[in-house]
Structure 1
Amino acid sequence: MSERVLHSHISPSAHFTAYVWFRRGLSDAAFVSPFGRFSHTLLRPVMWASRQFFDLDLESMLLLRHLQIDASLHRAIESAGVRQVVEIACGLSPRGYRFTQRYPQLHYIEADLPAMAGRKGQLLAENHWLSPRHHVVSVDVFAEEGPYSLSSAFAQLNHNEPVFVITEGLVNYFSREQIELFWTRLATQLRPFRAASYVTDLYPELQMHPRYRQIRWGVDLVGRLTRGEYYLHYADADAIEAGFKGCGFAEVEVVDPSLRAADLGLPVSTVPGLVRVVHAHM
């Protein structure tokens, strides 16, 4: 995979995250770009200072959400018989590769905007990781109809079987109004399935957090790096639950993965967690 192909239409944060997953043993070198390595090296002094002076560890935050989502998917496959997975805004996520290697019975669909979907499909094809049960489709989460709509992607699945949907690193790039529109459309697509679950990460607006000022600085930095806005949604778990239920989900569980850090194999921080993982069921 050439550097040119990997760079096209992928945000700097996606390259950085892909390298974090790789260096922690959660990914393959095929998902890493030179820019990912460079950005990690460039930010290393900032991350060191954040850990030393504020007990905020960017890598641990990324790993907490990723491993918590992984744990949810493992449980759904092994305990609930899930064999259909859709990962929306898949980017450079290695999850489809890892889980189809471990669970060959899965029908795993990776979805992203057309340019990214094409490049992800090429990456997987060059490494012989695509199959009839693991493929990539083009999806625009705000398309109301047509070949890039959610309905087009979900039409490929069996409604008589449970389905498990994932988004990671997506929610906070959109305003609350925009992301709730997506969740409402997603809930509509999931309603016909015998059983359906959606798991995502999000960063709430934790104004009482002891590191709130540093959090706002970090949010502004992410916005500049990604050439856009980075929004914080909801004030607490109750507001998150109400938001999801308002979009059509019946049951909602909000998890602070920092409280499960030891179980996930990560260091326990003295500072309250920033990221939440939401499990929403129809």
Structure 2
Amino acid sequence: MTERASSAHISPSAHYTGYVWYRHRLAEPAFVTGFGRFVHGLLSPISWAARVGFDLDIEQLLLQRHLQIDAQLTAAIEQDGVTQVVEIACGLSPRGRRFTTRYPQLRYLEADLPAMAARKRGLLGAQGWLGARHRVRAVDILAEQGEQSLAALFAELDPEQPVVVITEGLVNYFPLALIESFWARLAEQLRGFPQGRYLTELYPDLKEHPRYRQLRWGVGLIGRLTRGDYPLHYSSNEAIAEGFQRCGFRQVQVFDPSRDAPALGLAPSRAAGLVRVIEARA
């Protein structure tokens, strides 16, 4: 497998996760694609074998990260008055639809590579869900200038209002040096707002975890499906926090969603978690 120098190979997994969100009543039928349904069916025997043989539930991991990010976003809106959200690498995420329906005051900007952004814009537009409060535009997290850069994206926001930025299912597709360069540029943009925070997930390199070998097998499969590496980043919660602070984030919290499973509406986890959700403030 090869190291990624672009974002171009991420989109296939968006179809799979889009179907997972629908299966678990987090998305409306419009978010389902034929390709997503096909890939889910194709991988079902592998998912079943991983769950039964290795106690590794792939969909549970996806739900843990998704619902933990939802919980942190809900708190930011209800407790801290956040009024605008940017979801980068939005793929077929239903979060923008759910949160703009729930919070009429919220402005939600979804962003992805041009092809996926166009598909998402068409999907939402066909349902009549787009408008002044809910928009989609193209972005490339590796572009340092131009109309697809972070600077151009954030220029469309109100600099007087707090903002939350979300990436889900993005970080581990890139080598650490590349994703840290994105985080540094993101932190710089967020410092231009009265409150700026970033929500994301990552799979750390927990070599002491009892399911580590199974996790390596699982991420290897993801890499093959998306034609690139799927590296694990950092070896502990402390290393995660230090990494984000090096990139310019002032305050960092690391969550293990498996510990909050009942509060997230999920079954209690029998093993220590494999995924982490990070809330970083600039």
Common fold by TM > 0.5: yes
Match of 2:245 in 1: 245
Alignment partners' CA distance in 2, 1:10 and 1:250: 29
Higher deviation after alignment, 149-158 or 239-248: 149-158
Q: Is the 1:187–1:249 Cα contact (8 Å) retained in structure 2?
A: yes
Higher deviation after alignment, 249-258 or 133-142: 133-142
> Shift of residue 269 of structure 1?
2.1
Matches within 5 A, 1:123-138: 123-138=123-138
Match of 1:177 in 2: 177
Match of 2:44 in 1: 44
Match of 2:227 in 1: 227
Q: Is the 2:241–2:253 Cα contact (8 Å) retained in structure 1?
A: yes
Match of 2:99 in 1: 99
Match of 1:203 in 2: 203
TM-score normalised per structure 1: 0.95
Match of 2:261 in 1: 261
Match of 1:74 in 2: 74
Q: Is the 2:11–2:91 Cα contact (8 Å) retained in structure 1?
A: no
> Shift of residue 145 of structure 1?
1.2
Q: Is the 2:151–2:189 Cα contact (8 Å) retained in structure 1?
A: yes
Q: Is the 1:9–1:115 Cα contact (8 Å) retained in structure 2?
A: no
Letter in 2 for 1:214: Q
Alignment partners' CA distance in 2, 1:41 and 1:114: 28
Letter in 2 for 1:83: T
Match of 1:273 in 2: 273
Match of 2:5 in 1: none
SS in structure 2 of the partner of residue 96 of structure 1: helix
Matches within 5 A, 1:149-188: 149-188=149-188
> Shift of residue 11 of structure 1?
3.2
Aligned CA distance change for structure 1 residues 272 and 247 (closer, same or farther; 3 Å): same
Match of 1:5 in 2: none
Identity of aligned residues (%): 61
Letter in 2 for 1:73: L
TM-score normalised per structure 2: 0.95
Alignment partners' CA distance in 1, 2:157 and 2:264: 31
Match of 1:212 in 2: 212
Q: Which portions of structure 1, spanning 4 or more consecutive aligned residues, are displaced by more than 6 angstroms?
A: none
- The two structures, once aligned, show a CA RMSD in angstroms of 1.2
Aligned CA distance change for structure 1 residues 9 and 48 (closer, same or farther; 3 Å): closer
Alignment partners' CA distance in 1, 2:169 and 2:75: 21
Extract unaligned runs of 5+ from structure 2: 1-7
SS in structure 2 of the partner of residue 263 of structure 1: helix
> Shift of residue 47 of structure 1?
1.5
Match of 1:31 in 2: 31
Alignment partners' CA distance in 2, 1:92 and 1:9: 15
Q: Is the 1:12–1:226 Cα contact (8 Å) retained in structure 2?
A: yes
State the structure with bigger RCO (CA 8 A, min sep 6), 1 or 2.
Answer: 2
Match of 1:114 in 2: 114
Alignment partners' CA distance in 2, 1:149 and 1:40: 33
Letter in 2 for 1:131: G
